[in-house]
Amino acid sequence: MTEKRATPKLPKPGVPVRGSKSGQPIMVLFDLIGRRWSMGVLWNLSDGNRTFRDLQERCGSASPSVLNTRLKELRAAGLIYNADNGYALTEDGRQLFDRLEPLGDWAMDWVEKLR
């Protein structure tokens, strides 16, 4: 970096999430879903209820303890709930998934391009 280093103006206040003061919504969300298997769980619940074991199988190396932690977090966040036959997306969870879904198609192109 050989240029002058003027600190750019921040149009958006930068925000730490975890140990910090101002919880910018997107960062709060990233802090929740930016953990192992969080998005994978949402993804795998999108086409129907899944039991704990289902989710374990679909989230390959997720150990039961971690999976359980993720499920509790997502439930506390109101994104999933305990249905009779397993876990399911809430309304909010469905809405979030709808915004996650476009990543699927993009990921296919991207992975293919990497090879």
Partner DNA sequence: ATACATTGCTACGTTTTTAGTAGCAAGTGA
Partner DNA sequence: TCACTTGCTACTAAAAACGTAGCAATGTAT
- The contact set with a second copy (CB under 8 A) reads 1-3, 5, 7-8, 10-12, 14-23, 25-30, 33-40, 43-44, 47-51, 53-54, 57-62, 77-78, 84-86, 92, 95-96, 99-100, 102-104, 106-108, 110-114
Window 31-60: contact mask with DNA (x via CB under 7 A): ----xxx-------------xxxx------
- Integer Cα distance of 86 and 14 in angstroms: 38
Nearest by Cα to 71 from 91, 56, 92: 56
* Chain position carrying tokens 């960062």: 27
Q: Indicate the burial class of 65 (C-beta count within 10 angstroms; 0-12, 13-18, 19 or more).
A: exposed
Q: Could you tell me the smallest distance in angstroms from the CB atom of residue 46 to a second copy?
A: 9
Cα 34 to Cα 42, 51, 108, distances in angstroms: 12, 22, 20
Q: Report the residue from 5, 99, 113, 115 that binds DNA according to the rule CB under 7 A.
A: 5
Q: Report the residue from 26, 82, 95, 107 that binds DNA according to the rule CB under 7 A.
A: 82
- Integer Cα distance of 75 and 28 in angstroms: 15
Q: Report the residue from 63, 83, 95, 108 that binds DNA according to the rule CB under 7 A.
A: 63
Q: Could you tell me the smallest distance in angstroms from the CB atom of residue 41 to DNA?
A: 12
